Each structure stands twice: as structure tokens, then as C-alpha cells.
Amino acid sequence: MPARRFWRDYWKEKIESSKSSSLDSERYPQLHQFVSDWISKHISEKAKGKLRILEIGIGPGGLAKKIKQLFNNQIELHGVDIHIPVKHEGIIYHEVPAEKLPFNDNEFDAVYSVFTLAYTDEEKALSELRRVLKDDGRAILVVHSPSSTVKYLLEDAHQKATLGLSFRKRDVKEGKKQLKDISNIERDVDEYAYLLERITRMPSNANALKEFFESHGFSVEEIREIKAGNEPFGGQLGFGVVLKKSERKGKPIKLGKGKKYEKSHEVKPMPPDIDEGMVWSMAD
């Protein structure tokens, strides 16, 4: 599925079902604090003038809305994404991919992005980020970790969706269900597989992250583990990274393809002699 259509459908479902991953500060206090603290630090260092700030992968804009409320007239805030499901007052939106930013060179004092890098062509996206960032600017990124709690929760959801689809395919085969009745489960299986494959592409520790970003022309000023709040899950969300432009070190490191997860078309019908109730009790 093309990335634009995936994210359009993803956010449409989350927003309509009131499950929008808006990255609100109550659920993700460390994430918000990490981004806002560095923007505040940069504003104080600049002292004069309004800062131009860019969010790459703005999505429904929960974090951007908070940043705009915090700094208001001190910043001019732009947001880019391949699909923008919600727009908030005071933010300038651009519906474009991270790999083709419609801005001049050295245009932004700060660029921030949350869990976006894994879903891009990272070499092109980082090259564009570096191009639009001022020489004394900062890039503030929150990136996925392949050992995060998010990944393990998604794996559990993928396993259960795959198991459910296997039973529903058996029902279709036996004439108890129609194909249209399983389309939502198929979508869930493919959505979880896509997210997991992208998350598992990312470097797994701080040293690997540092080497990765240095190879793309950045010096690393800070790497910090970002923790989730108590809800909806505890544990690690990912890594917070602060970057400054520098000379590239060696050949740019490319992310791998990530771990392969079963897609809906690969799921086989459950054999007729397997009891559904027993399997679900074991899965739980």
C-alpha cells in the first residue's frame, strides 16, 4: 500500500474511533518535555527575533499544537506530512513528503520530528532536513527503538489479529462468513505488520544511533531514552536525539529492511479440528 494512503486510512480510523495517537502531554510527558525543553533553550540562546520551526511528520498535530501554545509569538511553526488529517490555528501546513521539503536552504532555526524517520527514505529525508536547517540550528528527533514497549505491544496485537484472521478464513472456507466480513481484521494484520517492520529497521542502541546520524552529516549533542507515562503503557518509547549540522563521516549508513511480519494474504485458514476457544485462551 502506498505510504500516503496508509497514513490517510490510519489517522482516519484513529480519529473517528477516538483513539488518535495525538501524543498529548499527559500520556507522554517525557516526550513533550524533551522537545519543548530544547526549543526553549534554543529560543533563549537566539535572544532576538522570531524563530522559524518545522515539524516533519505532523500527523494530527497534538505536539505541534502544544508547542505553539507554549511559545506562541516567539515562533513561526510549520508542519509537513504526506497526509494531514487535522489542522490547528497558528500552524502553517504543507502536505508534502519528508523527502521533498518545499523550503529554501538554511531556513529553519529548529526542526523536530517524532517517530517519523523510520517511515521515510532516511537518506533523502535526512539530507532534506540538513539542507533546510540553519548552520547554528538544531534537529530534535524522537526515534523508534526495536526493543521498545511499543514494539512488543504491537507484536502481541499482530499475533492476535493474525490468529483471529486464521479462524475467520476458515469460516469463509466453510461458508459461515463472507469475505467482506473479515476485511477489518485483514487491515489490522497488515497495519501492525507495516508498523513493526518499520520500527525494527531502527538502530537498537545509543552508539549505533550516534554512528548512523554522524554518517549523514550531523554531530550528536544528546541521546536520551524516552519513557512512556503509566498509560497506556509503561517502559521505553524510544530515543530522543539532538543534532547539529557537521561534516559527514564516511558513507551514509542505510537502515535495514526490518524484521518480516506475516501479511493478511499469507495467513492460512485454521485447520477444522482446532478449537477456537482453546486457542484464544492460550493466546491470552
CATH number where 138 lies: 3.40.50.150
Q: Are residues 81 and 134 in the same domain?
A: yes
Question: pLDDT, tens digit, for every residue of 98-112?
Answer: 999 999 999 999 999
Residue 137, C-beta contacts closer than 8 angstroms, at least 6 positions apart: 42, 108, 109, 110, 111, 244, 245
pLDDT at 202: 93
pLDDT at 55: 95
CA distance 113 to 44: 21
With CA atoms as reference, report the closest residue to 194 among 253, 123, 264. Answer: 264
CA distance 63 to 25: 8
The pair phi, psi for residue 274, each rounded to 5°, is: -95, 125
Q: Are residues 192 and 114 in the same domain?
A: no
Question: pLDDT, tens digit, for every residue of 173-227?
Answer: 888 777 777 888 998 899 899 999 999 999 989 999 999 999 999 999 999 988 8
In a domain, 222, yes or no: yes
Assess whether pLDDT exceeds 90 at residue 232: no
pLDDT at 129: 97
CA distance 119 to 11: 15
Assess whether pLDDT exceeds 70 at residue 22: no
CB atoms within 10 A of CB 197: 16
Mean pLDDT of the chain, nearest integer: 84
Q: Are residues 236 and 137 in the same domain?
A: yes
State pTM to two decimals. 0.85
Q: Are residues 170 and 56 in the same domain?
A: no
CA distance 126 to 42: 21
Assess whether pLDDT exceeds 50 at residue 21: no
Q: Are residues 121 and 164 in the same domain?
A: no
Q: Are residues 180 and 231 in the same domain?
A: no
CA distance 13 to 180: 18
Q: What is the mean pLDDT of residues 55-75?
A: 89
CA distance 78 to 64: 9
Question: pLDDT, tens digit, for every residue of 24-44?
Answer: 545 567 777 888 888 888 777
Q: Are residues 267 and 188 in the same domain?
A: yes
Q: Are residues 64 and 177 in the same domain?
A: no
Q: Are residues 82 and 99 in the same domain?
A: yes
In a domain, 237, yes or no: yes
In a domain, 252, yes or no: no
pLDDT at 231: 46
CA distance 173 to 122: 42
CB 218 within 8 A of CB 197: no
Which H helix or E strand runs over 203?
A: none
In a domain, 253, yes or no: no
In a domain, 250, yes or no: no
Q: Are residues 190 and 268 in the same domain?
A: yes
Higher-pLDDT residue of 23 and 258 is: 258
CB 197 within 8 A of CB 146: no
CB 92 within 8 A of CB 78: yes
Number of domains in the chain: 2
Burial class (CB in 10 A: 0-12, 13-18, 19+), 244: middle
CA distance 114 to 19: 18
In a domain, 22, yes or no: yes
Q: Are residues 103 and 219 in the same domain?
A: yes
Higher-pLDDT residue of 233 and 122 is: 122
Assess whether pLDDT exceeds 80 at residue 87: yes
- Which domain covers residue 209, as residue numbers? 3-144+203-245
Q: Are residues 65 and 183 in the same domain?
A: no
In a domain, 254, yes or no: no
In a domain, 156, yes or no: yes
pLDDT at 275: 76
